[in-house]
Every structure is written in C-alpha cells, then in structure tokens.
Amino acid sequence: MERPATLTDADFEAIASLRTAVTAAILAGDAAAYAMLCTDDVRLLHPGTPLITGRAELEAHNAAMFEAVRVTSLTLTPVEVYGEGDLAYEVGTQQLSIEPTMPGFSASRKYVHVMRRDPDGAWRFAALISNDS
Amino acid sequence: MITPRTSWISTALLGSLAACTPAIDLEAERTALRATDEAWAAAASEGTDVELVASFWSEDATIYPNEAPVVRGKEAIIEFVRTSFDMPGFHVTWQPQEVVVAGSGDFGTTTGTNEFTVPGPDGALVVIPGHYVTVWSKNAEGDWKCVIDMFNSRAPATRAETP
C-alpha cells in the first residue's frame, strides 16, 4: 500500500505481542485471558456465529466454545499490518486444528483483526473476522 | 545560525501554524464514512453498474471473499463484480453497524451484516447471511475508499423465497 505508515516500532511490537497472547489464550482454552485482550465494545464476527458484541459476551461465548472443543494447534501468520494513530488492522492467514473435529470445520482460514489503542495505552482487539480459505 | 531569539520566533510561528490547522471533526467523518458504505450497498444491491460498484474500492484494494481466492487490485475487482452480477438471481445487500475513524480523520473501519443471494448447488437460489469488516482510507481527492474487504457467512444458507 502507498499510504504512509504512522505506527511506531513499539506499536508493531505491541501488536505482535497481542497476536502471541491471543494464540496462547486460545491454546490454553482461557476465555478470560482472551477477553482481556479485547476492547470493552469488541465485535466478534466469526463464521457460523451470530454477532458477539462486548467483552463479557465474548468471554461467555468463548468459554462455551472451549468447553465444546479444544484447539490443539494454532498459527497466525500476518500478511499486512497497518495503522494510523490509535487504529490499526492486521490481515493474515491462520492454520488451526481442534478436537473433536466438527463437520464443515476448515483448518485454513484468512483473518482481519482491527485493533484500537485504549486510553491506558494498550492495543486491544476491536473487531475480529475470519473466513475459510 | 539559530539563535535563541530566532528559535523562539520559529517556535511561535509553528505554534500559530498549528493553530491555523483546522480541527478534524471525527463525528462528521464517521457520518461521511457510514454514508459512503450505505451508498455503496445501495449501488451493489441494484446489481447493474459494475463500474460504479467497483469505484468504492481503492485502486490497490484487496477483497478476502469467503471460501474463495483473494482478489487484488481494481482490474481483478471489476471482474469479480462483473462475474457476481452475471450470476442468475445474484443479489447482495449490507448494512454498516459500527463505524470507527482514527484521529487522523482519513483512516477508518466499518463492520456490519450482509446477505448474499446466489444459486445453490442444485441451481435453486439460496440466501447466505454474513458478517463483514471493511477498512477505509481517504484518497488524494478526500473520498473514502475501501482498501480491505472481508466477509463470511454467519448462518447456514436457506432456500430463497420465490416471488
């Protein structure tokens, strides 16, 4: 893209840490830890799922999901990270496996994560969407 | 040579220039971005004007469709739209629900719900409800253009009602 990047190295590092932290939370099945990485008004727009809005709703949704399935491997590979000021996005691919497997489950997906810098200075997920590759 | 006095003058000059910079009205920018997304949805829902619909994406935009390869650049996007509109019974509509604009006033996102009507495996039309996230940037003319576009299906397809 030709737009000038305005994120600092520290911003890129924080966003990379966010990616690492959410991967760890999902692999640990820790819905509370996942929720803490999200903004208060986060929007989860996952395939096959109604819109999930807000940190509390997201935590309840993920807790139920982690009860049903265990994510045994997950790799998020960023393709592009861009942002201006307090708003950024990351596009990437993800590979995951779950137990037990489910009908129609796709192990290979594309994702867009929108991130916002909260007033406390921390970058958090504001919107998460993915689809099948 | 910068003396303390010239430095002071420069600082004062920069300060007055900053004061002349118009403040960014983020609420107005959010309204403009929502209106742009809604106008785009209306044009796409008509399903006739390929060039108009494609004009809402930037020249270097990327579409990440559900269960399909990535579509990069305007030429590929025009073909993507044309192919969609040529599908018998194709219809798309969407509604932005949340609009976020960065403090810069020229970068933002919209999220919302969509609905595609397409021929199913047996040829009968099906309706697929979905989510979308779009990332926007203003071009040199100050117009909002979509640079990243991802959508998925949020529920199983259902048979379309016949008129």
pLDDT tens digits for B42-55?
999 999 999 999 99
Q: How many Cβ atoms sit within 10 Å of the Cβ of residue B159? A: 11
A27 touches A74 (CB < 8 A): yes
Q: Which residue in B has a C-alpha nearest to residue A48's C-alpha?
A: B154
B37 touches B57 (CB < 8 A): no
DSSP per residue, B80-130: HHHHHHHSTT-EEEEEEEEEEE-TTSSEEEEEEEEEEEEE-TTSSEEEEEE
pLDDT at B142 over 60: yes
Q: What is the pLDDT of residue B102?
A: 95
Q: What is the pLDDT of residue A5?
A: 61
Question: Considering only CA atoms, which of B153, B111, B154 is closest in space to residue B133?
Answer: B111
Instruction: For residue B4, name the pLDDT band (cuts at 50, 70, 90).
Output: very low
pLDDT tens digits for B73-113?
999 999 999 999 999 999 999 999 999 999 999 999 999 99
Asked if B152 lies within 8 A of A130 by C-beta distance, the reply is: yes
Q: What is the pLDDT of residue B70?
A: 96
Angle, alpha carbons B49-B52-B57 (nearest 5°) = 130
CA B88 to chain centre: 25
Per-residue pLDDT of chain A (133 residues; tens, 9 = 90+): 445 568 999 999 999 999 999 999 999 999 999 999 999 999 999 999 999 999 999 999 999 999 999 999 999 999 999 999 999 999 999 999 999 987 777 789 999 999 999 999 999 999 999 999 8
ipTM value > 0.90: yes
Please name the residues in contact with B13: beta carbons below 8 A apart, sequence gap of 6 or more: none
Asked if B104 lies within 8 A of A91 by C-beta distance, the reply is: no
Q: Which residue in A has a C-alpha nearest to residue B105's C-alpha?
A: A84
Instruction: For residue B21, name the pLDDT band (cuts at 50, 70, 90).
Output: low
CA B119 to chain centre: 25
Instruction: For residue B162, name the pLDDT band (cuts at 50, 70, 90).
Output: low
Percent of chain B with pLDDT over 70: 85
A110 touches A93 (CB < 8 A): yes
Q: What is the pLDDT of residue A133?
A: 83
Give residue ranges of A with CB < 8 Å to any B CB.
Answer: 1-3, 6, 43, 45-51, 83-87, 89, 91, 110-112, 114, 116, 126-127, 129-133
Nearest CB to A45: which of B70, B111, B155? B111
pLDDT at B152 over 90: yes
Q: Work out the minimum CA distance from A12 to partner chain B, whole angstroms.
A: 17
Q: What are the b/e assignments for B66-94, b being 16+ CB within 10 Å?
A: beeeebeeeeebbebbeebbeeeeebbeb
pLDDT at B156 over 50: yes
Write down the mean pLDDT value for chain B: 89
What three-state secondary structure class fits B55? Answer: coil
More confident residue, A2 or B21: B21
B111/B127 Cα distance (integer angstroms): 20
Give residue ranges of B with CB < 8 Å to any A CB.
Answer: 60, 62, 64-67, 70, 97-98, 100-104, 106-109, 111, 113, 131-133, 135, 137, 147-148, 150-156
